[in-house]
Structure 1
């Protein structure tokens, strides 16, 4: 039972990726019928269309449906507001005014290289 659920979920997940292949497989299986009945160029055998026009129309329609669904899905997404504007500006915030007066020490390359100079050197024999 568990394996069946896993296969079903995997198939449902891969269905949008596999659906064009399903259309192509349907065309391959029913190629003779499509060429005789559904092909637009069945009256022009010199084109050797053999139903490829039908396949192209089906694939384009399927792609258009997927694009439309994706566009609708994106347009219907809820807007998530990540930032909110405070009612008071930063100048009245006591934490901000305290941090504004703090000076941070600048990076000094010589202070950090001194301990490393005695550690990293070639071995002495």
Structure 2
């Protein structure tokens, strides 16, 4: 009963985010006369023939900045969700329970091991 209106509301909210620039253009087209006459930065310079496009560019820039800010915030949230910190527990064992396994042989014949792996010789 309440699922269908909720789904429609969520769908519309997703569409408004994706079409933010289209809404800015539509608002500009509907109110272009008012914007050119009242809100335009260059209304004192009719030779530029701006007709409110400066205001449109300003609004598009604001919408783009807002979208980038929301994207950065979403990335921060994703990083915080990914970095779940679990406490590190250090178990201390008595020395008598620790067994050290030292390899007896490296698996190489003695002659090869000594001929390749040796400190550099000083020639002088």
Q: Which residue of 2 aligns with 1:114?
A: none
User: How do 1:1-125 and structure 2 match up within 5 A?
Assistant: 4-77=5-78, 78-80=80-82
TM-score (norm 2): 0.58
Give the CA deviation at 1:28.
0.5
Distance in 2 separating the partners of 1:79 and 1:8: 26
Residues 31-68 of structure 1 show CA distances to partners (whole Å, capped at 9, x for unaligned) of: 01100111011011111100000000000011001101
Structure with greater helix percent: 1
Q: Which runs of 5+ in 1 are unaligned?
A: 82-125
Distance in 1 separating the partners of 2:6 and 2:17: 18
Distance in 2 separating the partners of 1:55 and 1:15: 18
Give the CA deviation at 1:18.
1.3
TM-score (norm 1): 0.58
User: How many equivalent pairs are there?
Assistant: 86
RMSD: 2.7
Give the CA deviation at 1:73.
1.9
